Amino acid sequence: MNKVIELIRVSTEKQAGTDRAGIPAQREINRRTASIYSLQIVKTIEIVDVSGASVLLSPEMQELLREMKSPDIDGVLAKEFSRLMRPENFNDYALLQHFIDTRTILFLPDGPIDLSTKTGRLIGPIRAAMAGIERREILDRMLDAKESMRRAGKHPGGCNTLARGIGYTKKQGWHYTPEIEGVKLLFRLFLEGHQTYEQLAKTTGYARSSVPKLLKNPAYSGWMVYSEKRDSSPSGYVPRLGGRQGHRRKIARSLEETIRIKLPLQPIVSENDFAAVQAIIEQRRRTRAEVLANYPKQFIYNGFLLCADCGRPLYTHVGNTHGARAFYYYCGSKHPRYRKNHEGEGLPVCTNQHMRRDPLEAKISAILSKRIIDPQFLLPIVSDYLAHRDSYYRSGAIGDALGKRSEFLQKKRQRILETYIDGLMAKDERDAALQKVDVELNRITGMQPATEQPTIKAEDVIRAVSVLAEYPFFSRDDKRVLLKDLVPEISVYRGDIKGLILSVTADRDNSHRSRTVKLPSPVPRCR
């Protein structure tokens, strides 16, 4: 009797509910299949709230792959092939290779599939492709149906996706909810001249970030405008931690795709007043952008600091302490935009704290202008690096570090685009932010280490850091230009510098053959 692992998967939490027959139906059919082929179910693995395109990300599937390596396991039992996977890209087919490597048979009601045989190698990918196409057809039908409802003047989603104070039900249709009174108050105050978002938030009880969004929503002038849509491409889907059901990114619609529906409601603000509000908001944005462009920058090391505890970039914050402005660096995991997701995904809580700007920047400047250029401090570090250079390059540590930084920059680039799509960033601000990210990405691409060792020597490092002797006399902009080339990353924790990476270029006979080496330097606490 063959020993098998039973696999049960449902795509959503609702399908796993006691009022649904998804899991019991799979279990019943699996029992019949086990009886037909004389199989002994030694373990059952249930995967809940995981799409067929993200099964490899789930810890349950990883557990199954580990169990398949056991010589006691002969196969995997499932109700249908789509319970195993619904691939969206060719990377998902790696799951089939695990069956081949472990000689595990997939048992289905219509017969077993041995992927290690010629027939299995043909049938397996075909069945996987069919399951993936079926998923795509389901998605397309769902999106098309929702699009038809929008163009018909109906709402295809839940009320939580509608503007505050506006509701929709099949029975009642479009209607206002009691929350609309707060929105009316918001528009009235704004048109009366109370145009400070912070004050409006306190008066209306809304979050400060919600105020401009509400003021810019055309639904309150009587028009429901769909200027965005869900990205239906494979790259548009963003699963949550562990492969759990996530969301599809929003992308801008073209002018031809934009849907404008006249709502059967009495507008709370006339179209002329709404246009006046938009003009005021745009003028405020331009004025603020001009002020910020000419306002002296308050931080030197923003963009170069990482949290030594969780590895996230450090953000800046300007607060008010006892009536005086206070400047801080803090870990990105504590930013309101990411804190909810960070906690919801069960990630460890970062123990770093807000750090005052002046003491931290003074310590960093002291290390760069004094400690790093001190031969007695630097030479032992360089000598240790050169002594272990062979193992350091063979271990791939440099490539891993650059790869992680490149991955972070790619995610940052995506966040910038999403912020622009959400209407929280102007086009010129978007272009400037993307340019900064692309410049660093191009620089990192050129720093990818070759398998050949770089011809770096101690004098290369000494010569590279010698320019830091005049660091205290540089302007902020000059310091940042130098930091981009020489010190791309500094790790800090609770006001102390825990690590610093130097980018040292060894220029020899031919400049076009020079290589850039990232030299990690342990930095003791600066007293």
Q: Average pLDDT over the chain, rounded to whole?
A: 84
Long-range contacts of 283-290 (CB under 8 A, 24+ apart): 284/195, 285/426, 289/426, 289/428, 289/429
Average pLDDT over residues 155-177: 91
pLDDT tens digits for range 463-484:
888 888 889 899 998 999 888 8
Q: What is the mean pLDDT of residues 490-504?
A: 87
Cα–Cα distance, 517 to 425 (Å, whole number):
36
DSSP string, 283-306: HHHHHHHHHHHHSPP--SSTTTEE
| pLDDT tens-digit series, residues 436-459 | 787 777 766 655 444 444 556 777
Tens digit of pLDDT for each residue in 239-279? 887 788 888 888 999 989 999 999 999 999 999 999 999 99
CATH 3.40.50.1390 assigned to domain 2-147? The reply is yes
Q: Domain 159-222+263-294: which topology?
A: Hect, E3 ligase catalytic domain fold (3.90.1750)
Q: Which two tokens stand for residue 16?
A: 């796993």
pLDDT band at 502 (very low <50, low <70, confident <90, very high): confident
Asked whether the CA dihedral 426, 430, 431, 432 is positive or negative, the reply is positive
Characterize the bridge pairing of strands 305-307 and 489-493.
parallel
Distance separating alpha carbons of residues 363 and 329, to the nearest angstrom: 14
In this structure, of 148-157, 181-190, 447-456, the range with the lowest mean pLDDT score is 447-456
381-413, pLDDT tens digit by residue?
A: 777 777 766 555 555 555 565 666 777 777 778
* CA–CA dist 37, 522 (Å, integer): 62
pLDDT at 420: 67
CA Rg, the chain, in Å?
29
pLDDT reported for residue 456:
65
CA distance 261 to 224: 5
For 17-71, the pLDDT digits (tens) are 877 778 999 999 999 999 999 999 999 999 999 988 889 889 999 999 999 999 9
pTM over 0.85: no
CA triple 501-504-506, angle to 5 deg: 160
**Domain assignments of the chain as residue spans, ordered by start:** 2-147, 159-222+263-294, 305-396+449-521
Q: Are the CB atoms for 50 and 243 separated by under 8 Å?
A: yes
Q: Quote the CA–CA distance of 337 and 315 in Å, as a whole number.
A: 12
pLDDT exceeds cutoff 80 at 511: no
pLDDT of res. 412:
79
Token pair for 29: 């059919």
User: Which positions ≥6 away from 480 have C-beta within 8 Å?
Assistant: 300
Condensed to tens digits (0 to 9), the pLDDT of residues 57-85 reads 899 999 999 999 999 999 999 999 999 99
Closest CA to 91 of 134, 57, 45: 57
The whole-number pLDDT of residue 264 equals 94
Helix 197-204 to helix 180-191 angle (10° resolution) is: 140
Q: What is the model's pLDDT at position 389?
A: 62
Cα angle 240, 242, 244; round to 5: 50
User: pLDDT tens, 290-317?
Assistant: 887 787 888 999 889 999 888 888 999 8
Q: Is the pLDDT of residue 520 over 80?
A: no
Size (the chain), residues: 527
CB-CB contact of 325 with 319 (8 Å) = yes
Q: Let me know if the fold of 2-147 is the same as that of 159-222+263-294.
A: no
Mapped onto helix, strand or coil, the DSSP state of residue 516 is: strand
| pLDDT at position 526 | 35
pLDDT of residue 510: 38
Asked whether the predicted pLDDT for residue 149 surpasses 80, the reply is yes
Q: How far, in Å, CA of 295 to CA of 423, rounded?
A: 23
pLDDT at 406: 74
Q: Is the pLDDT of residue 140 over 60?
A: yes
**Among 101, 102, 103, 93, which Cα is nearest to 124's?**
93
**Under a CB-based contact definition with an 8 Å cutoff, are residues 134 and 124 in contact?**
no
Got the DSSP string for 311-342?
A: -PBEEEEEEEETTEEEEEEEEGGGSHHHHHHH
- Residue 255 makes CB contacts below 8 A (sequence gap 6+) with none
Instruction: Please say if the pLDDT value at position 101 is more than 70.
Output: yes
> What is the helix (H) or strand (E) element at residue 436, kind and residue range?
helix 427-447
Determine the average pLDDT of the residues in 208-229. 93
* Calpha distance 40→267 (Å, rounded): 66
